[in-house]
Structure 1
Amino acid sequence: MSNLNGSICTPEEQARAIGPTSGIFCLTRGQSIGLAFTAEAGCVSLVAVVGVFLLILRKYIRHVKLIQRPTDLYMLSLFTSDLLQAMGAVLDIKWVHEGKVYVGGYCTAQGVIQQLGETAVAMATLTIAIHTLIVVMWGKLKHQLIVAYIVVACIWLYVIIFVAVTVSIHTRGSSHYETPTPYWCWIGDGTRYDAERIAGEYLWLWITLFVSILAYIPLFFWAQGNITVSTEHWWEITFHSSKENIQGIDPDGRRRRSLGMIAYPLVYSVIVLPLSVVRWITGFGTNTHQMSSVATFIVISIYSLSGALNAMLFLLTRSDLLLLGNTSSVPSKGLGLAPGIALAVGTDRPSGATDADSTRSRIKSRQPPLDVEDEGWQLPTIEHPSEET
């Protein structure tokens, strides 16, 4: 039965939906349309992230080792989180089809998936921001894979344990932890679970937002040549008022290109800030009358594009991560080795070359032209007649 506002709920369901803890929310026609856009945004992100994983898989079958540096592991964790977040948004299709959101197994599943994905995305982005700042400014942690494994393991252990414990404790009989909030399922029941909302997700969204902005500021001035950091003492930072010596400080343009490293946290900040404002005004979904549903659907649709935006950044700015670089010039017998080593294998010695020359040539071939953490940020560059890009 359709009412004047476009809702297809029955009169009994409409009556039940009036209560604050009814466990059901009847969508109007306009709200169903808005939620459909959110589901479509989730589908776009889902397709984009799956596409990235397929590209990685295609490259992986031709290589020996997938994780070669910390950033590989962080990006793999980020895209896994993006996949879960996108799946949570896609599940809105059921509510659009039925015209109502209600508690149950499906509702709980959506809430759990969204918690896992959204919190893990925030924590992975936070890790990338901190790692980028440390590597670029001080040159530390470039090759500390063990640290990366520990960090990623801690992220997923925290997220999984937190969600599993809270859902199992607060879901008993007719009492549901994941309820309509109100257009999709998440942590509900008014202000009763405010602590769980903050510790389980919002705290990490806000920390990531703050740290991302904080990390971008010194990286920007570092790339511009306005500040330099001592290689011996991390706390010794020198400020420069003039940028006349930027060519001497950054002869190969690596500083300027390094801004691409912070692109993920920066984009995340742009899509999270309006979402946080709207969710705060609406009391985390408990006071939706405080703001038009249109604003909510706009910001949540943008937020649901997180996976697609990360996939686009991944392909445009760092395609050498996770084996996505161009490896066509590396012989098959050198797979898994550094390009210099692979090219050195089986190379004929020029006529007249001495053993010493051959030894020096082999040693030189083992030295990669750039540090693995410095190559691959293929941002568009502006060529100048007097500079070499």
Structure 2
Amino acid sequence: MPTDFAATKAMFRLPDGVIYLDGNSLGPLPRAAANKMAHVIKDEWGEMLITGWNKAGWMAQPTAVGDRIARLTGAEAGHVVMGDTLSIKVYQALASALELNLDRRVILSDSGNFPSDLYMAEGLIKSLGRGHELRVVAPEDVADSIDESVAVTLITEVDYRTGRLHDMKALTAKAHSVGALTVWDLAHTAGATPVDLAGAGADFAVGCTYKYLNGGPGAPAFIYVAPRHADQVRPALSGWLGHDAPFAFDLDYRPGAGIERMRVGTPPVLALAALETALDIWDMTTMDDVRAQSIALCEQFIAGVEAACPMLTLASPREAAQRGSQVSFKFADGYAAMQALIARGVIGDFRAPDIMRFGFTPLYIDAADVDAAVAVIADVMGNRLWDAPEYHARQTVT
């Protein structure tokens, strides 16, 4: 049965007069989240106190919610766990992959990767002190750069600036053909495009849940470890909840079974509760339905903006199959233009040096929203409404 996107839209709190095209950076609030968190705070934390770890199932949350993320990313059940931040999960996955390929020294990434991933790789290399190299190439050169010197590829499946979509299955196959492993960052694909981690043969994957998955600001990250690696990887961050028996309080670390060993610290119970309400909405749809509607909305948006705003240059791939669920345009004064749009209720965001980004989430964006957004963009750009002093003043978050 096709997804009823009008029904899913009604389950989000969207301010009046706002067209929200920034769910690729922070998803909106599920209406059920406030009551769910109030229940956890008052009835679980408030009444159960510390017994909530057992009575309310708090300790099991990371893997229970992980299984719900697995459904959206094509992962095997029992091989995704929640917790910590995306940067920490990148570090964990990368360190574990390097230990599985000890004779190699190259981490291959691309210039479209999110900088934090590269920073984590640089920091890990310095800590290891074993002569590893972070090799960064252009996105279109990744496949040709995977050779026998590469220990692991560190690739974000969708470019955060342009929305360019890598071919996970092909690049993973290429990596495996030369003995390399793969770490995939799904920050801009989980909840945006169909992902098939198991089918692609991915070794590791990580992602956040505050973007398309609508878990809220600071929502926990997730990590996936393929079944073939799950019982042999050594977690570089050997936290007490990744121990085989945390409450034995052994002085020596003994990794837990499978994905449990990738847990680090105390589960973020309140944040996971909010995320669960968003995942309830995801249970009403399929990623194939979401992808088909996303493509339709993006195509409609591109056609409308290009017809009305010749001063904007499409930065995203024109071919839908090569693009995630965002559309980016280049404009020299893109920051000021985006501030002018936000002031008029069309919320996207800006990425240096000149990218205006617009995210499309069919769960709460529809064709009427797209037409209304295009009309505002045409007005702001065509009448140079962006060229006012207040729109050029840079804020901390862009």
Query: TM bucket by the smaller chain?
Result: under 0.3
Larger radius of gyration: 1
Of Structure 1 and Structure 2, the greater strand share is in: 2
TM-score (norm 2): 0.21
Higher normalized helix content (fraction of residues): 1
